[in-house]
Structure formats: C-alpha cells, structure tokens
Amino acid sequence: MAHNGTKIPAEAVELYTQYIHGEVSRRAFFDGVKRFAVAGLTATAIIDALMPNYALGQQIARDDERIKASYETVPSPDGNGFIRGYFVRPFSADTRSATPAKLPGIIVIHENRGLNPHTEDVARRFALENFMAFAPDALSPFGGYPGDDYKGGQLFGKIDREKMTQDFVAAARWLKNRPDCTGKIGATGFCFGGGMANTLAVLLGPDLAAAAPFYGSPPKPEDVAKIKAAILVNHGALDKRAVDGWPAQEAALKANHIRYEGHIYPDSVHGFFNDATPERYNKATAQEAWTRTIAWFNQYVRGDG
C-alpha cells in the first residue's frame, strides 16, 4: 500500500520481482513503473514503495539482550576459500551453566542479493526460538553485502555457482560440527536461498535433518533420491512459476518416500515472507508459514521426528 492509500498495481509488484531476479534491467524497471503511474501515485512513489525498507522490517534489534551475535568466517577449501556469516545464539543458552547448552542449528540463506539486514533479522528470530542460526553471505569473496540490494545483485551474478554452492555446504558442516551444536541442523532460505536449501538437502543427505524452503527452485527430480531431510515447501499462490513447478516436485518427493509437506498460501506473491518489502509482504500468511517452519524444525531438527 503506497503512502497515500493508493494500492500499487499487481503488475508493478511483478515487475519488481523480475527486476530483483535480474530478468529486467534497472532502467527497464524504472521505465516500466512509469506505465503504472496514476493520479496521486507517481512513478517515484511506486518505486519507493517497492524498494526494501530494512528498518520497517526489523522485528528484533541487533543489540537485543536476549541474543548473542557475532560474524564468523568459515573455511571453504572447495569453494571460494572462505565464507563469512552472521552467527546468533539465544543469550540464555550461554548463561545457564559454565558449559553452553547444546542447541540444534539452522542455516538461513538469503535471496540473490547477499546477506542483507532482513536475513540477519530472520536469523535473530530463530535464536529467540531457541535455535542457533548461521546466515552465510555468498558475497563474502567481494567483501560481503555492499549495503545496497541492486549492487548486491550485480555482485551476486559474478560468483561461480559451483564454488558458491560449496561455500554453503562448508557453512552447514561448520554449524553441524560446532561443539555447542547438537549435531542436528536444518536449512531454510528465500528465493535463491530456498533453492539452495533444496540443494543442501541433496548434497548433505543424512547430514541435514530438515529443510524449509520459501519459494525456492526444486532440485532435479533425479537428485531427490539423495534427500534424507524432511522437506517443508512454502509457496505463494500468486507466484505462478513456483506454483506451476510444485506438482512435479511433489511427485518426486512422493516417489522417493521423502517426508514432506507443501503449502500454497492464498493472496501471496513471490517474496510474501519479506516484511522489508511491504508491497510483497502478506502478514497473515507469513506468520502462518513461520509457525509451520518452527514446528517443522522443532519436530525434525530438535526432536526425533
């Protein structure tokens, strides 16, 4: 909803989605938005409304006393040499006794623009659910997320995909093997990150207990047999590409006897979970998907599900 109460056209929101996926250029996005300018709603107002507002999307302050956060660098010899990430634990886990409580771990994987403040906020949310969370930054070889989503997306396109994948594998194994981890981990992510969560399920096999991808690309059908994790798929009903791909993914999960659930959320576009992009965010379905995700990880990563 734009500031003056005029609703942003759905076509403009879709154009933004194409833009952040690199399918249209910045100029084409700006020019395209002009078509949707109407009385009381300028192209500038539409662009401002579509762009992320990370202060708006922050649910947990960086200095919240209930968490303990740090940036950690993980060796990745098969990838780009190293990957840096944001590591968060609940503060209570470090204060109960002389030895920190062992917690299950969750890898939180960003969209295709690097580790922006929204993804860090999601990691903090997991810490408050009594998980340890690690949010790696694929842009580590370039010095990390540059503070701007457009620049981040440009850098993201320059990274070798095979090496990047190995960086995330290294991050997951680092989390799993930490002495303060129970040895059970899950993975979640959004858009690119959802696809990477699916990829980790394939590559890690029994070393990944569960994955909860949000609007992520499915693995190749022939790779699904390698998955041992329990898979929770979250898609928005208005995200046509994701919804169209779901029946084939579900068929492959069923054929290989993978524990899974798939949810298609009504009135929800691609990016519906991202509260830093209010024109895509659907508060009701985002909360529902989050509740399901926490329950899934409690069952399969914390418990013996």
Predicted confidence (pLDDT) at residue 5 exceeds the cutoff of 90: no
242 and 281 inside one domain: yes
pLDDT in tens, 17-27: 888 888 888 89
Which of 224, 219, 134 minimizes the C-alpha distance to 181?
134
d(CA 262, CA 231): 8
Domain shared by 33 and 172, yes or no: no
- Split into its structural domains, the chain has a count of 2
Q: Does residue 2 fall inside a structural domain?
A: no
- Asked if residue 26 and residue 81 are part of one domain, the reply reads no
Amino acid at 254: K
Radius of gyration of the chain measured on its C-alpha atoms: 19
Strands 81-90 and 132-136: antiparallel
Q: Tell me, yes or no, whether 41 and 153 share the same domain.
A: no
If pLDDT is split at 50, 70 and 90, which confidence band does 4 have? very low
Looking at the fold, whether 175 and 252 belong to one and the same domain comes out as yes
**Whether residue 169 sits in one domain with residue 116:** yes
Distance CA 55, CA 63 (A): 14
| pLDDT over 60 at 35, yes or no | yes
Predicted confidence (pLDDT) at residue 3 exceeds the cutoff of 60: no
Is 286 within a domain?
Answer: yes
- pLDDT at 97 (0 to 100): 59
Cα 273 to Cα 285: distance, rounded to the nearest angstrom: 8
**Which phi and psi (to 5°) does residue 23 adopt?**
-80, -25
- Residue 60, domain member (yes or no): no
Compute CA distances 23 → 38, 49, 85, whole Å: 25, 20, 27
What letters, b where the CB count within 10 A reaches 16 and e where it falls short, cover 67-87? Answer: bbbeebebebeebbeebbbbb
pLDDT at position 95, please? Answer: 57
Task: Say how many CA atoms lie within 13 Å of 279 toward its Cβ.
Answer: 25
Q: What is the mean pLDDT of residues 58-72?
A: 96
CB of 73 closer than 8 Å to CB of 90: no
Cβ pair 231, 259 in contact under 8 A: yes
Co-location of 276 and 133 in the same domain: yes
Digit-coded pLDDT (tens) for 125-165 = 999 999 999 999 999 999 999 999 889 999 999 999 999 99
Residues 285, 168 share a domain = yes
φ, ψ (nearest 5 deg) of residue 72:
-120, 145
Q: pLDDT digits over 269-296, tens only?
A: 999 999 999 999 999 999 999 999 999 9
Question: Exposed (0-12), middle (13-18) or buried (19+): which is 303, by Cβ within 10 Å?
Answer: exposed
Please give the residue range of the domain that contains residue 292. 67-302
Round to whole Å and give the CA distance between 256 and 129: 31
State whether 104 and 216 are in the same domain: yes
Nearest one of 122, 141, 134, 208 to 171, comparing CA atoms: 134
3 falls within a domain: no
Both tokens of 89, joined, read: 């634990």
Question: What end-to-end distance do the CA atoms of the chain give, in Å?
Answer: 41
Asked if residue 58 is part of any domain, the answer here is no
For residue 303 the two structure tokens come to 């418990």
| Residues 148 and 235 grouped into a single domain | yes
